[in-house]
Chain A
Amino acid sequence: DIQMTQSPSTLSASVGDRVTITCRASQSISSWLAWYQQKPGKAPKILIYKASRLESGVPSRFTGSGSGTEFTLTISSLQPDDFATYYCQQYNSSPCSFGQGTKLEIK
C-alpha cells in the first residue's frame, strides 16, 4: 500500500499569509493526487485533482504542484475561510489512501 505523509501536521498563520503544505508518497504516484479541505463537523471538499487541476468553483489562491512522490498545496493569501484541515489523497493504485492531515490554525 502507498503511504502518504503530510507536513507540517499543524501550521499557524495569519490572514494574508502565503502558506505551503507538503505531501510525500512512499512510491511514485505520477500526478494522481488530490487535495481536500475539511472543516470541523463537515465532509471534506475537493480542491485540486491530478496534482494541479483546480476543481470548479475553488478560488484561484489555491495552487497544487508536484509529481512522482512530492507534492505541495499553496494558498497564496490566506482568507478567514481557509482555516481548516487539509488532506492529500493518492489514487494511483488501490487502495487509495490519504495523508494524516495538516491543520491550518490562526496565529
Chain B
Amino acid sequence: QVQLQESGPGLVKPSETLSLTCTVSGGSVISGSYYWSWIRQPPGKELEWIGSIYYSGSTNYNPSLMTRVTISVDTSKNQFSLKLSSVTAADTAVYYCARCSGWYLSPFDYWGQGTLVTVSS
C-alpha cells in the first residue's frame, strides 16, 4: 500500500519561502508509471493543483503559481519536495502531496494526510 507523508514547517513568515517534503513508502517515485503532485486547500476553500513531477525531473506547474514554485525529486530518498517563494497570507493552506494515477493529467489515487502551513509574521 502506497503511503505519502508531508513534512516541513507549519509557520512561514511573509515574503519567505515555504518548503515541504513528501516521503513515499510502499512504492517508489522511480516508478515510470506515475507523476507525483502537490495540491493545496486554503481553509474552507476548494482544492488547487500546484504542480507535478516525474522521476526524471520533468515538471508541470499551475500557471497561476509557476513564477514562484519549484518541485524537485530525490530518488535516493524516495522523496519529492515543494518550494513556494515570496509567500503571503493567501498561501495559508493545507498542503497535500499525492500520486497521479498516470501522467500528470490524471486523477490522484493516493494522498498524504496534509500539513497546514500558516503564513504569518
Residues of A within 8 A of B (CB): 1, 32, 34, 36, 42-46, 49, 55, 87, 89, 91-101
Known: A43-B96, A43-B113, A49-B101. A91 touches B46 (CB 8 A): no
Within 8 Å by CB of B49, from A42, A55, A97, lies A97
* CB closest chain-A residue, reference B51: A95
Contacts of A45 in B (CB 8 A): 111
Q: In whole angstroms, what is the CA distance A46 to B98 when docked?
A: 11
Cβ < 8 Å to A, chain B residues 107-121 = 107-109, 111-114
Does B63 count as interface, using CB distance less than 8 angstroms? yes
* CB closest chain-B residue, reference A45: B111
CB–CB A34/B107 < 8 A: yes
CB–CB B113/A49 < 8 A: no
Q: In whole angstroms, what is the CA distance A34 to B96 when docked?
A: 17
Known: A34-B107, A46-B108. A94 touches B46 (CB 8 A): no
Known: A43-B96, A43-B114. A96 touches B49 (CB 8 A): yes
* CB closest chain-B residue, reference A6: B46
CB–CB A43/B60 < 8 A: no
Number of chain B residues whose Cβ lies closer than 8 Å to a Cβ of chain A = 22
Contacts of A94 in B (CB 8 A): 60, 104-105
Q: In whole angstroms, what is the CA distance A43 to B94 when docked?
A: 10
Within 8 Å by CB of A43, from B48, B104, B112, lies B112
A-B contact pairs, 6 of them (CB 8 A): A43-B96, A45-B111, A46-B108, A49-B101, A89-B108, A98-B48
Contacts of B114 in A (CB 8 A): 42-43
Q: In whole angstroms, what is the CA distance A92 to B106 when docked?
A: 8
CB–CB B105/A96 < 8 A: yes
Q: In whole angstroms, what is the CA distance A89 to B111 when docked?
A: 15
CB–CB B109/A46 < 8 A: yes
CB–CB A93/B49 < 8 A: no
